[in-house]
Amino acid sequence: QNRPLFDSSVLVTAKLLKATPGRLTYDLLPGTALSQLGDTGLPAWRYLADAWPHLARTDVTDLPRHEPADEAAVLDRWLAQARAAGTLTGLGFANLTEHIVAATAHAVKALATGSGAKVLTHRDLHDGQLLWDDRNLALLDLDTVCLAEPALDLGNLAAHVDLMKQTSRLGPAAHAEIRSLLADAARALSATPDRLGVYHRAACLRIALVHSFRPRSRAWLPDWIEACLTPSDND
């Protein structure tokens, strides 16, 4: 790309300083990750929700397309890896693997039931990728940028906001406001509540599978999995 994919007057992204075989060097971005700011990061979330519908442009055509089937394949791959490694054992659930398999199959089927218009998408958008310095919002790791449904990024963000609340990094009032802001952004991008819910549920399951490999997550993972296995309004 000859110009920044995301509007540089709205969102700061790193400039490539040096490229050598096997190594890319970027400049250092300012700010603190929203994952660390908790409730004090609310101004950044408000800024993001207002800006994102304009940043998720539709005039980019020369990027890879990430279809619902591709997202389903990502979820299936994490499930296969967790089953092979046995990371779903010892979490205090009877027949957990079978329940996760069923929930994943339901999410995969739901992903395949529809597909909206494609927009510029980060594809790994979460609270650790966004930096705030009280004035500017910066975005990390653009190597996964593609064209996909707007519900993908916003559903993933919503799941990680839920995780912030689950792990006591975000209070209930701030959590509710941010989830409402993300729903507003989804509507501005013509993503239906159903599609946002589908991608949110898939992201929640993926988070459970990813964190099943991380011993430090065991303190909160059972409660997270229980929530994942509870039918939602979109089921």
Q: What is the mean pLDDT of the chain?
A: 92
pLDDT tier, 111 (very low <50, low <70, confident <90, very high otherwise):
very high
Examine the pLDDT at 142 and tell me if it is beyond 80: yes
In DSSP terms, 131 is beta-bridged to: 33, 138
Lowest-pLDDT range of 35-39, 60-64, 75-79, 169-173: 60-64
Long-range CB contacts (within 8 A, 24+) of 104-110: 104/75, 104/76, 104/79, 104/205, 106/235, 107/72, 107/75, 107/198, 107/201, 107/202, 107/205, 108/72, 108/75, 108/76, 108/202, 110/198, 110/201, 110/202, 110/234
Task: Write down the residue that tokens 């998720």 correspond to.
Answer: 56
Average pLDDT over residues 140-164: 96
Q: Are 100 and 181 in contact (CB under 8 A)?
A: no
Residue 130 to residue 136: CA distance in whole angstroms: 10
Examine the pLDDT at 235 and tell me if it is beyond 50: no
Helices 150-166 & 172-188 angle (0-180, nearest 10): 180
Average pLDDT over residues 81-110: 94
pLDDT tier, 3 (very low <50, low <70, confident <90, very high otherwise):
low
pLDDT tier, 40 (very low <50, low <70, confident <90, very high otherwise):
very high
Sign of CA dihedral 82, 86, 89, 93: positive
Supply the pTM of this predicted model.
0.92
